[in-house]
């Protein structure tokens, strides 16, 4: 009975008070009064009975749906949950401490889930329908959302929410969490300050963007930073930050603004730093050309399984972007422009590690020379399922070490010399 009542209340509210679903601020007490009145009117008009003990919960659930996101409210408020995966109305998975489990949260039916999805979409310029059955967007708190609906999704409407960390912490927090060693942290902070061009590589959920956000805090407050993203996710603390976000087309497919469009425009905005939220296509070439032409300190995220794979993906994206350029020319630009690849992984026990800090050292016989400076080597898994491993220093001083001195950045060569870190 409560499901029937909620469906009727939703329908009546949408028809009569449509403005409350547009993201407009609503007074909670007035909303409660309105919902109670609607339910009382429905009782009298349609002559159905409501268990008085269930009445407060029905009202609370409806208020949560309108002011929040209904069944998702408790999951979004739980700070220990990092990801929410809705596989249709009856299966909602969550990620906690790197582990994925099925929650006890469900939606009443497919219509209820679509109602919540539409509520998420309403304040934005995004939409999903048969013509555009998937989209990406951000919640007001910065959490990243992907939505895909039938006929592409066979399980019904599917929604994935990657929750945004309001406090990313510091590099010391990453060291404390054993994401990287202290020498690695010192080197990366120095690399940011010395304006190395760095790509953060890894699979989805590996922690790349979190690491980039933390390291970006070491960019000088005097620098003008331009961020370019498909869906806004980066949160920098500096004052002089200009964020750019792509724009999807309208129903007719017109008005699209791509990452590549934004990257080209950013070069006319007098940037001291350009941060690319994710390299996906032809903007890889624009980024490399910017690096080679003196735009140092560029940072970017890339989905790849290893430093070598990151290089291959960049080459492939450029070759398939419609630009007439040889593989050798691409390699030469990578060797000239890119300095470091920071590879991050989520291991089998759910922990996140920077597994490689790799320098791009040049090109020889048409092949790029990659050299690990630091790495993480997995040794075993203990009886509790925890990964045991060790940080390795490869004893190699980076070719660009002199840049630290030129940029006035203090860093000792000693951090590269010990075998274990």
Q: What pLDDT digit, counting tens, does each position of 210-239 carry?
A: 999 999 999 999 999 999 998 888 889 899
Distances (CA, A) of 350 to 20, 32, 82, 161, 205: 40, 42, 12, 18, 10
**What confidence category does residue 14 fall into, taking pLDDT thresholds of 50, 70 and 90?**
low
Give the span between the Cα atoms of 165 and 240, in whole angstroms: 21
> Which is more confident, 381 or 65?
381
Is 80 exceeded by the pLDDT of residue 420?
Answer: no
Residue among 246, 245, 162 nearest 210 (CA): 162
Is 60 exceeded by the pLDDT of residue 152?
Answer: yes
pLDDT at 300 (0 to 100): 97
Question: First and final CA of the chain: distance in angstroms?
Answer: 63
pLDDT at 10 (0 to 100): 72
pLDDT at 108 (0 to 100): 85
What rounded mean pLDDT belongs to the chain? Answer: 89
DSSP-assigned letter for residue 415: G
Q: Which CATH architecture has domain 70-164?
A: 2-Layer Sandwich (3.30)
> Which is more confident, 66 or 115?
115
Is 60 exceeded by the pLDDT of residue 22?
Answer: no
Is 70 exceeded by the pLDDT of residue 166?
Answer: no
Mean pLDDT of 97-109: 90
**What confidence category does residue 1 fall into, taking pLDDT thresholds of 50, 70 and 90?**
low
Kindly provide the residue ranges of all beta strands, DSSP E only, lying in 215-337, ordered along the sequence. 225-229, 241-245, 273-276, 299-303
pLDDT at 2 (0 to 100): 66
Give the span between the Cα atoms of 13 and 313, in whole angstroms: 50
Give the span between the Cα atoms of 174 and 357, in whole angstroms: 15
**What confidence category does residue 287 fall into, taking pLDDT thresholds of 50, 70 and 90?**
very high
Question: Would you state the structure tokens that stand for residue 351, as one six-digit string?
Answer: 């922990």
Residue among 158, 139, 145, 11 nearest 89 (CA): 158
Q: Specify the pTM.
A: 0.78
Which homologous superfamily does the CATH classification assign to the domain defined by 171-416?
P-loop containing nucleotide triphosphate hydrolases (3.40.50.300)
**What confidence category does residue 4 fall into, taking pLDDT thresholds of 50, 70 and 90?**
confident
> Which is more confident, 111 or 125?
111
């Amino acid at each position: 009975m409560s499901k029937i009542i909620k469906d009727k209340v939703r329908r009546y509210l949408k028809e009569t008070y449509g403005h409350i679903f547009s993201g407009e601020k609503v007074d909670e007490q007035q909303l409660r009064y309105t919902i109670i009145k609607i339910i009382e009117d429905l009782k009298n008009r349609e002559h159905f009975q409501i268990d008085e003990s269930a009445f407060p919960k029905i009202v609370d659930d409806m208020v949560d749906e309108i002011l929040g996101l209904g069944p998702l409210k408790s999951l979004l408020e739980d700070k220990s949950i990092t990801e929410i995966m809705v596989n249709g109305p009856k299966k909602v998975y969550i990620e906690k401490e790197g582990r994925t489990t099925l929650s006890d949260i469900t939606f009443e039916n497919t219509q209820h889930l679509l109602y919540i999805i539409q509520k998420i979409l309403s304040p934005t310029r995004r939409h999903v329908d048969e013509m555009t059955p998937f989209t990406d967007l951000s919640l007001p708190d910065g959490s990243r959302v992907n939505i895909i609906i039938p006929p592409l999704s066979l399980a019904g409407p599917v929604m994935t929410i990657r929750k945004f960390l309001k406090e990313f912490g510091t590099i010391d927090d990453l060291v404390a969490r054993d994401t990287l060693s202290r020498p690695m942290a010192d080197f990366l902070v120095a690399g940011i300050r010395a304006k190395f061009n760095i790509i953060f590589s890894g699979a989805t959920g590996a922690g790349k963007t979190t690491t980039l956000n933390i390291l970006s805090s070491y960019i000088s407050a005097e620098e003008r930073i331009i961020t370019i993203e498909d869906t806004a996710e980066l949160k920098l603390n500096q004052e002089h930050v200009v964020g750019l976000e792509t724009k999807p087309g309208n129903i007719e497919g017109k008005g699209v603004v791509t990452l590549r469009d934004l990257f080209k425009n950013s070069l006319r905005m007098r940037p001291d730093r350009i941060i690319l939220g994710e390299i996906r296509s032809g903007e890889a070439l624009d980024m490399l050309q910017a690096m080679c032409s003196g735009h140092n300190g560029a940072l970017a995220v890339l989905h790849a399984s290893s430093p070598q794979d990151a290089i291959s993906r960049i080459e492939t994206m450029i070759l398939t972007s419609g630009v007439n350029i040889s593989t050798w020319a691409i390699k030469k630009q990578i060797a000239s422009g890119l300095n470091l690849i920071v590879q991050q992984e989520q291991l089998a026990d759910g922990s996140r590690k920077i597994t490689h800090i790799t320098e791009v050292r040049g090109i020889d016989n048409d092949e790029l020379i990659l050299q690990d400076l630091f790495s993480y080597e997995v040794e075993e898994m203990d009886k509790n399922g925890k990964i045991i491993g060790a940080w390795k220093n490869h004893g190699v001083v980076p070719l660009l070490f002199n840049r630290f001195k030129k940029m006035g950045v203090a860093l000792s060569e000693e951090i590269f010399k010990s075998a274990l870190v």
